[in-house]
Structure 1
Amino acid sequence: MSNKDILVIDDSNTNLVLLESLFKSNGYRVSSSTNGREGLESVSKNIPDLIYLDLKMPEVDGFDFIKELRKNKDYKDIPVVILSAISDRETIIRSIELGVVEYLTKPLDIEKIIQLTKNILSR
């Protein structure tokens, strides 16, 4: 069993259930939030080892979530992976400029997500 915590933030319940199941079946502890505001609250209670983040969400979107996360010295080094249906170049560049470690587009590639997760958490 892994002792690594993953936070998934996505307003799609389908994606949350899929990713929670995927990560739990691979031995990770998982928590989830449906928007950036809830995600920030979750991070303040339990600092995750990795965050998977959607960009388009109600209340606090993915970009605002990352900006708020990076303001706190305790959270600024948490790796963030974007999972988004948005695939335009400007959005990807903006995400990288904000320090995300990877940008994945939907639909989700399960094998790629698991391999990426293992690679990031083994650093």
Structure 2
Amino acid sequence: MSKKDILIIDDSNTNLVLLESLLKRNGYSVFSATNGRLGLDMVNKNIPDLIFLDIKMPGLGGFEFIEILKRNEDFKNIPVVILSAVSDRESIKKSQELGVCDYLTKPLSLDRILNTARNILEE
């Protein structure tokens, strides 16, 4: 089985380091971006098998990132999981409308992140 590629997009370097370490230790190939624009550049270079995405970021935010992703035939089926400190009904509803796989709230549970990745990538 080849390594699955996971892209993490989050403006928190602490979260990036933590998630990269967790996922790499568990056999995933991981790359990261600190904002939505850089994330789109990375998707264009290497289509990931899964994206973990923060909503609130400077510049291109998470929801805008998903809208752009879903308009592209090559990228629209990439599973996206939201990682956010925001847990209001409106944000959760919008993420469901945009077709995200899951909505995980911060502070992040490392077990939940790992289980989410495994469940999505082993379907």
Runs of 4+ residues over 3 Å off in structure 1: none
Is the contact between residue 2 and residue 28 of structure 1 (CA under 8 Å) also seen in structure 2? no
Q: Take 2:112 and 2:3, find their aligned partners in 1: how far apart are those partners?
A: 21
* Corresponding residue of 2:118: 118
Is the contact between residue 83 and residue 106 of structure 1 (CA under 8 Å) also seen in structure 2? yes
Q: Take 1:24 and 1:106, find their aligned partners in 2: how far apart are those partners?
A: 20
Q: Take 1:111 and 1:2, find their aligned partners in 2: how far apart are those partners?
A: 22
* Corresponding residue of 1:41: 41
Deviation (angstroms), 1:2: 5.0
Q: Which residue identity lines up with residue 59 of structure 1 in the other structure?
A: G
Q: Take 1:96 and 1:90, find their aligned partners in 2: how far apart are those partners?
A: 10
The two structures have a TM-score, normalised by structure 2, of 0.98
The two structures have a TM-score, normalised by structure 1, of 0.98
Gaps of 5+ in 1: none
Gaps of 5+ in 2: none
Percent pairwise identity: 66
How big is the alpha-carbon RMSD for the aligned residues of Structure 1 and Structure 2? 0.9
